[in-house]
Amino acid sequence: MKTAPDTAVLSDGGRDRHGRTISYVRISLTDVCNLRCVYCMPEKMTFRKKQELLTDEEVLRLIRLFGGIGFRKVRFTGGEPTLRSSLVEIIRATRETAGIESVGLTTNGILLDNLARPLGEAGLDSVNISIDTLDRDRFREITRWGNLDDVFAGIRAATKEGLRIKLNCVVSRGWNDEQDVLALAALTIDNPWQVRFIELMPFGNNAGFQVGRTVTESELVEKITARFGPLEIQNEGRLDGEARVYRIPGAAGSLGFISPVSRPFCSACNRVRITADGILRLCLLRDEEADFRRRIREGEDDDSLRDALTRAIYRKPWGHDLKSDAFPNKRGMSEIGG
């Protein structure tokens, strides 16, 4: 016999056992990438076989189930989600899914120039574009294979399409924590974008690079303040999603700081993740997972899948334990999607 309480708790917008409303799912559409960012994956990377990845139908079925249990926001990520040939169709179908109010994409922007228009027409609301420096040579060093001009062509195309734009910069000590950070912050003076500085997080697959390279929010705020003057805190210090937001006085855009290492925001966490191979990941930085590809491929019906989803989400862990050096080891960031 099914026990009702967990489902009942979640059907009104999704509450976990810690009282948090969980209404946002990030879905990785592939683990493959056309770049090899030094902090994210090694240059020689092995990817999953195509048959291990969720099909379009499987992805959309899960999204319908999420919409039905109170999820309102979907963000597609990867690997590099623009490498999925059916991305536009997936976004269109997601936009039409009952309950889903917001559809976003996180991308390295390399292929966005040609995709921004079809994505906008399909109903994409917002795009987060990763850009760790404005220096062409440094960009090539960090991404190993990337051309900064392609990213800017993507940003221009997304702007033309009217998509909401945020720029993501992962800061790595010794790579982009000096002039690069200041140049990115300066972009917000004339552009209405949010430039977000993300603290480098440790993952088992690339720990050799990551150890000792995290630059904290307070170090960055100090550096940016020294150049541009005191930053104005926005939203009275309340988080916007996972970011604390500031503004350079008079700037058109804003600065976001995502600081899972130095200022964890677990109490405000409202999300879960689906990896490209169909695993529900309950916390980015913990290895607790539930295999939904297996359930789907074993023929479970929607009621049973919904029940399993709500139960798993209800058990979402409180948060990470980086302070005790409990690092996620099962998967790297490119497999989970960030």
Under the rule (CB under 6 A), what is the footprint of ligand SF4? Answer: 33, 35-37, 40-41, 78-80, 108, 130, 334
Q: Whose Cβ is closer to ligand SAM: residue 153's or residue 198's?
A: 198
Restricting to residues 167-186, which ones interact with ligand SAM according to CB under 6 A?
168, 170
Residue tagged 């999204």 (tokens): 63
Would you count residue 154 as binding ligand SAM (CB under 6 A)? no
Q: Whose Cβ is closer to ligand SAM: residue 66's or residue 203's?
A: 203
Size of the site for ligand SAM (CB under 6 A): 21
The burial class, CB within 10 Å (0-12 / 13-18 / 19+), for 12 is: exposed
Would you count residue 23 as binding ligand SAM (CB under 6 A)? no
Would you count residue 78 as binding ligand SAM (CB under 6 A)? yes
Among 39, 193, 228, 327, binds ligand SAM (CB under 6 A): 39
Would you count residue 124 as binding ligand SAM (CB under 6 A)? no
Sketch the per residue contact string, 200 through 239, with ligand SAM: x for CB under 6 A, - otherwise: xx-x------x-----------------------------
In whole angstroms, how close is the CB of 178 to ligand SAM at the nearest point? 18
What is the token pair recorded at 78? 């990867």
List beta partners, residue 196.
168, 256
* Among the residue ranges 153-161, 180-188, 199-207, 295-303, the one whose residues contact ligand SAM (CB under 6 A): 199-207
Per DSSP, helices labelled H in the chain are 5-11, 56-68, 87-95, 112-122, 136-143, 148-160, 179-190, 207-210, 217-228, 292-297, 302-314, 333-336
Contacted by 70, from ligand SAM, ligand SF4, none: CB < 5 to 8 Å by type: none
Neighbours of 262 (CB within 10 A): 14
CA neighbor of 32 nearest in space, from 210, 204, 296, 277 = 277
Contacted by 41, from ligand SF4, ligand SAM, none: CB < 5 to 8 Å by type: ligand SF4
Q: Whose Cβ is closer to ligand SAM: residue 116's or residue 198's?
A: 198
Would you count residue 33 as binding ligand SAM (CB under 6 A)? yes
**Structural contact between residues 87 and 81, judged by C-beta atoms closer than 8 angstroms:** yes
Distance CA 263, CA 270 (A): 16
The C-alpha angle 101, 150, 59, rounded to 5 degrees, equals 35
Restricting to residues 236-275, which ones interact with ligand SAM according to CB under 6 A?
none
List beta partners, residue 26.
75, 273
Strand 254-258, strand 244-247: pairing: antiparallel
Would you count residue 334 as binding ligand SAM (CB under 6 A)? yes
Residue with the CB atom nearest ligand SAM in the bound state = 338
Among 30, 97, 130, 188, binds ligand SAM (CB under 6 A): 130
Distance CA 187, CA 248 (A): 10
What is the token pair recorded at 98? 């009952």
335 φ/ψ sector (left φ>0, alpha ψ -120 to 50, else beta): alpha
Q: What is the DSSP letter of 154?
A: H
Q: Going by C-beta distance under 8 Å and a sequence separation of 6 or more, which residues neighbour residue 324? A: none
In whole angstroms, how close is the CB of 51 to ligand SF4 at the nearest point? 21
In whole angstroms, how close is the CB of 193 to ligand SF4 at the nearest point? 19
Q: Whose Cβ is closer to ligand SAM: residue 54's or residue 65's?
A: 54
Chain contacts with ligand SAM (rule: CB under 6 A): 33, 39-40, 77-78, 80, 106-108, 130, 168, 170, 198, 200-201, 203, 210, 333-334, 337-338
